[in-house]
Chains A and B, each alone.
Chain A
Amino acid sequence: MRERPIRRGFVREAGLAIAPLLALLAVLPLLYNNQLLLLNAVVFLVLAQGLNLTYGFSGYLPFGYVGFFGAGAYGFALATLHAAAPPLAAVLAGGLAAGLAGLLLAPLLRLQGAYFGLASLAAAEALRHTIANPDLEALTGGPYGVRLDVPYAPRLTYGLALAILGLTMGVVAFLRHSRFGLRLRAARDNPISAATAGIDVVRGRLTVWLVSATAAGLIGAVFAWSAPTFFPDAVFDISFSIFAIVFTLFGGAGTLLGPVIGVAVLYGTYTAIGVSAPQYFQLVYGLLIMALVMFFPDGLAGIRMPWRRRDD
């Protein structure tokens, strides 16, 4: 597919949205001393934007998105444990592991709608059960998890997480303003006429899928670095998928700032009330999900403000 010169919109979004957001996140640790919470917020930002890539631009909603996160965390762990890889190389290994998992699961893209959503969830579960298999304890640590001996480097891991966030959001902005992105949206609207209009639907979707998987893997690896003791059930927790889906839907899929707003509002609420009473939070979440689907299927971005110009 020939690419036109990147449109001005991309530069505008990169300059007016991504750069300020990254700058804000970069200075936040100076103002707010709960580093772990900030890192987790960035982790969710990356996961939400990564999911935004597949759902917002190709229409696939992977309930098993957490599988790539877990694959990244375990890619990092196994590279550190068995290959004695330095942490930075191990992070790349995590991204690669998730990318490979994405490639392995690429046949799932043949499925549609709910079939795809549930099949991807099943795939993530299969991966979790494989890693947690007691018979594989020597290799993966089995259900007892892993304990890694990596240097504690909060600034580096946070900076790395920000870099991954910047890259992922850059891809989102690129898709919003490039012909490739337009073609993906066309394929999402109608794959059949997209194919007859000369669009390589399969290649486009596969590309986005792999980028999205790799983003989750990279951030999973950074997560593993910052929390070097973890269990399969923790990094393959389906809540990661659900949070990413809800954050994205809340703000509006296919937008650049929607998922950011979703994380800011909802993760903020979660940290305010959720940690002490997870059930209450689960209840609020469940109700919120239902309300979103019933009343705002396009998220906050879909609410027509009287002063907002319709642009598409």
Chain B
Amino acid sequence: MTDAAPLLEASGVVKRFGGFTALDGVDLTVRRGEIVGLIGPNGSGKTTLINVISGLLPADAGTIRLAGVSLAGLAPHRRCAAGVNRTFQVPKPFASLSVRENLEVAALDGVDIDAVLASVELDAHARRRVGDLNSVSQKLLDLARALVTRPSLLLVDELACGLNPVELDRVAGRLRALAAEGIGLVVVEHLMSFIDSITDRVVVMNAGREIFGGRLRDAVRDAAVVEVFLGAPEPAAA
């Protein structure tokens, strides 16, 4: 590993499903301590990109490097060991396990599970069965489970959806704190105010390609971006 290399360096990533090209040569670079927002209309390939980076889907072409080391051919659990972790748009907890056990199965040695639980305010529910949690708590549990694996790259897929403003603020603060610790984050989100509050830089995707990269406030003035969002303007973008 060299510190000079960016944390995540994806280039020319292609993913096809049969005749449909979900990712059409995507590049994405994330540095340590940086939060990159990934936005775009539904079906533009955001989640597919996260699935490819986390190893759930094999890429058809392109390279993905973590701290200069290629992740090609690594199964998801090996990518986790290498430092990649993620949350899911629809949380995927281990439903028959207790909240704490959900973290125990994933935690690296020496991780203070209770502290992580407390950081997402789930400590009061530690012994409860996950199936009994509401969906917001399940999302936070997803995040906590990713954190106990001590990722260097965290891919966050639509965490904000369904959270109330107070919770949103807390989660935003939490993500900023993670970045401050040196973790690189990719945040997929529809809620523009949330994206605006945490990201330095956004990548706008459409139909499997990057159509814009830069600051969010410039993106909303970009002709191509505006055209893509025109059919379904995001109320929160105003």
Binding site for B on A (CB under 8 A): 2, 179, 182-183, 185-186, 188-190, 192-202, 312
Contacts and interface: CB of A to CB of B under 8 A. Distances in A.
A212 B64 CA distance: 39
B12 interface: no
Contacts of A185: 94, 96-97
23 contacts: A182-B101, A182-B104, A186-B94, A186-B102, A188-B96, A190-B93, A190-B94, A190-B95, A192-B76, A194-B94, A196-B54, A196-B76, A196-B77, A196-B79, A196-B85, A196-B86, A197-B77, A197-B80, A198-B80, A198-B149, A199-B77, A199-B106, A201-B77
A198 B97 contact: no
A304 to B, nearest CB: 13
A195 B146 CA distance: 11
Given A192-B56, A193-B88, A199 B105 contact: yes
Nearest to B81: A198
Nearest to B131: A189
User: Which of B56, B76, B101, B146 lies at the interface centre, i.e. has the most chain A CB atoms within 10 A of its CB?
Assistant: B76
Given A182-B101, A197-B80, A312 B96 contact: yes
B132 to A, nearest CB: 10
Contact of B56 (A195, A197, A200): A195
A189 B97 contact: yes
B159 to A, nearest CB: 15
Contacts of B129: 312
A179 B95 contact: no
Interface string B61-79: 0000000000000011101
Interface string B123-166: 00000010000000000001001100100000000000000000
A202 B88 CA distance: 21
Contact of B109 (A2, A192, A199): A2
The binding surface of chain A is classed by DSSP as helix
Given A190-B92, A195-B76, 16 more contacts: A179-B104, A182-B101, A186-B94, A192-B56, A193-B92, A193-B142, A194-B105, A195-B55, A195-B77, A195-B80, A196-B54, A196-B86, A197-B105, A198-B81, A199-B77, A199-B105
Given A198-B80, A198-B149, A200-B77, A312 B98 contact: yes
B222 to A, nearest CB: 33
A179 B105 contact: yes
Interface residues of B, number: 30
Contact of B145 (A188, A197, A202): A197
A298 to B, nearest CB: 10
Contact of B75 (A188, A190, A195): A195
Nearest to B56: A192
A185 B95 CA distance: 10
Nearest to A197: B106
B194 to A, nearest CB: 23
Residue among B79, B95, B96 having the largest count of chain A Cβ atoms under 10 Å: B96
Contacts of A183: 105
Interface string B23-37: 000000000000000
Given A195-B56, A198-B149, A186 B105 contact: yes
A194 B149 CA distance: 12
A149 to B, nearest CB: 50
